[in-house]
Amino acid sequence: MPSGPMRNLVTGGAGFLGSHLVDRLMQAGEEVLCLDNTFTGRKANVRQWWDHPRFEFIRHDVTEPIKLEVDRIWHLACPASPIHYQTNPVKTAKTSFLGTYNMLGLARRVKARLLLASTSEVYGDPDVHPQLESYRGCVNPIGIRACYDEGKRIAETLCFDYQRMHGSEIRIARIFNTYGPRMLADDGRVVSNFIVQALRGEPITLYGDGSQSRSFCYVDDLVEGLIRLMNGTSTGPINLGNPHEFTIRQLAEQVRARINPELPLIEKPLPADDPRQRQPDIVLAQRALGWQPQVSLEQGLEPTIAWFQELLG
């Protein structure tokens, strides 16, 4: 363990989640290499650190190998919203497989600990509710979401095979729906969709009748969970998410009430393989990390709406 600041590589560090993690690491006095190909990341998300001596931005695609000297690797690089990961599904699958393979190779060479940002999508359209880490999922391997779902599943496989074969230090976080400032307006995620539509005075679109459920974790809570996982002794996989479940219609109604109560809700056909339920069981995170979310949906929507108000002008 180095005596000075830790040298951290954050792949996908200019993205929504990655940039908030970069903030926390920089505020803690650590060194940060922010690696991003800017496909969905934005340099503006880390602009405040641009000239800081402990920060470096590297434009690079994780599907290509890279040689660096680091102590810890936070591997977040991968488009995470359906619109973006379905734009080029082969590239998404390559990012999950080759990107994780390259980062594990780097971690092995420099003896760094690696944290993989996996996803609740590994559970697919679950027939177990809420989802525990022991549940193996119900994923369609040939569906339109498989490039991401199966990509993250093989990324987890690679991590554990590196651990078994090479003794690599790994940490696996299965991240559930996360929201907050710096989300993209066009990412197709339900929170950003509803807020952007409401701010533009458009009808709020529900896919299906809105009875499908999700659990929404504010980004600050999620980053705290990632840090505790990286610094702790548990390998995982560990679910990180807010266990409070809401229907999509309830979310739409909350957003509408805060922005424009007169807006109508309209229904459109449900996309293929869209999960009916998604709720994390976080007992393991509570026990192993002493972690649970602190920010309610009502509290987290306020700064998120404020972010989009500024973004949209």
Predicted local distance difference test score (pLDDT) of residue 3:
60
Residue 249 belongs to a domain: no
- Tell me the one-letter amino acid at 220: D
Q: Is residue 118 part of a domain?
A: yes
Stretch 4-24: mean pLDDT: 96
Structural domain containing residue 110: 7-181+218-241+279-294
What does the alpha-carbon distance between residue 82 and residue 273 come to, in Å, rounded to a whole number? 11
Residue 44 in domain: yes
- Residues 298-313 have a mean pLDDT of 95
- In the block, which residue shows the tokens 């026990």? 287
The CATH number of the domain holding residue 117 is 3.40.50.720
* Euclidean distance between CA atoms 251 and 244, whole angstroms: 12
Residue 306, in any domain of the structure: no
Q: Please compute the mean of the pLDDT values over residues 176-180 and round it to a whole number.
A: 95
Task: Answer yes or no: are the C-beta atoms of 127 and 138 closer than 8 Å.
Answer: yes
What mean pLDDT value characterizes the chain?
94
pTM, rounded to two decimals: 0.94
| Residue 187: inside a domain | no
Distance of CA 14 to the CA centre of its chain: 12
Contact in structure between 71 and 7 (CB atoms under 8 Å): yes
Half-sphere exposure of 30 (CA within 13 A, CB side): 20
**163 or 267, greater pLDDT:** 163
Total count of domains within the chain: 1
Tell me if 290 is assigned to some domain.
Answer: yes
Q: 225 in a domain, yes or no?
A: yes
pLDDT at 273: 62
Is 265 within the bounds of a domain? no
In this structure, the number of other CB atoms found within 10 A of the CB of residue 46 comes to 25
- Name the active-site residue from 85, 101, 123, 148: 148
Query: What pLDDT sits at residue 237?
Result: 98
Q: How many CB atoms lie within 10 A of CB 127?
A: 11
Q: Is 148 a catalytic residue?
A: yes
